Amino acid sequence: MSEKQNPFKLLEPNEQVPDHLKKALVSEIDTIRNTSAIVELFVGNFINALTASFSNGSETEKIS
Q: Where are the domains of the chain?
A: 32-64
**Residue 1 above 70 pLDDT?**
no
- Whether the predicted model's global pTM rises above the 0.75 cut: no
Amino acid 64: pLDDT: 46
Q: Mean of the pLDDT values across residues 6-15?
A: 76
pLDDT for the residue numbered 44:
81
Dist CA 25 CA 20 (whole Å): 9
Sequence-separated (6 or more) residues with CB below 8 Å from residue 1: 7
Interval 15-60: pLDDT, tens: 788 899 999 999 999 999 999 999 988 888 888 888 888 886 555 4
How many residues can be counted in the chain?
A: 64
